Structure 1
Amino acid sequence: MTATIHGIENCDTMKKAFAWLDANGIAYDFHDYKKAGVAEDQLVRWSDIAGWEKVINRAGPTFRKLPDHARQDLDQAKAIALMMGNPSMIKRPILEVGGELEIGFKPERYAVLFH
């Protein structure tokens, strides 16, 4: 079972997820969407599975610094456009494993996915 973890390398939450995966001997591929970008179809797929409201990080500084008009009247298309232009607005980590999608890091959820 191949796991792919998507996020930003220097994020503290990502570091916790990497440490958990490493400590549990889980092999994974890492996609840094700040350096490598993220495809629109991938954001659409994640949004279709989990809901765009869960994929976009409204609590982060990148989103909060947007002008009011950019944050208002959000829908999936507008949220995806924002995340494409500012990958830091994508929640992290996003873990894909065995057809499952996990957004955010909770050790107990990772334990369920891998055991």
Structure 2
Amino acid sequence: MITIYGIKNCDTVKKSLKWFEAKGLDHKFHDFRVDGIDAKTIEGWLGDVGGKILINKRGPSYRNLSDSDKAVLENDGGAAAAILAANPTVIKRPVVDFGATRTVAYNETRWSELAGI
């Protein structure tokens, strides 16, 4: 089962969900705000894709973080996962989990490859 992580009012997440529905791919949506997200899951994502890809430094959520939290996020360590778990809107969206592989951001071409369509 494909899991799409994000927040329901994000335009990119909405667009992603529509794409998966249009392709008839079995998926579920995990809303960071409603369902939460744990640091262990985020640690795995950081290990898979790294902080440069996972962390959205362009949004207001990142700008509102303390300077010390921003400094921790620069180091990609375990403490970064805890900060992201407490502030999940700093995570780029969507994170799409195909089981063995995860993608970050909207990417129809990559999703098609991973889904075998």
Q: Does the pair score TM above 0.5?
A: yes
Size of the aligned set, in residue pairs, is 114
Conserved? CA contact 2:2–2:99, under 8 Å: yes
Q: Is the 8 A contact 2:6 2:93 kept in 1?
A: yes
1:19 counterpart residue number: 18
Gapped regions of structure 1 (runs ≥ 5): none
In the other structure, the counterpart of 1:32 is 31
Match of 1:58 in 2: 57
Deviation digits for residues 41-69 of structure 1, max 9, x if unmatched? 10111111111222221111100122333
User: Secondary structure of the equivalent of 2:20?
Assistant: helix
Does structure 2 conserve the Cα–Cα contact (< 8 Å) formed by 1:56 and 1:79?
no
2:104 matched residue in structure 1: 103
SS at match of 1:34: helix
Q: Pairwise CA RMSD of aligned residues?
A: 1.5
Instruction: Give percent identity, aligned residues only.
Output: 32
Q: How far apart are residue 88 of structure 1 and its match?
A: 0.5
The structure where helix makes up a greater share of residues is 2
Please give the per-residue CA displacement for 1:82-111, whole angstroms capped at 9, x wherever unaligned. Answer: 211111111111111141111111222222
Structure 2 portions without partners, runs of 5+ = none
Q: Give secondary structure in 1 for the equivalent of 2:62.
A: helix
**Secondary structure of 1:72's aligned partner:** helix
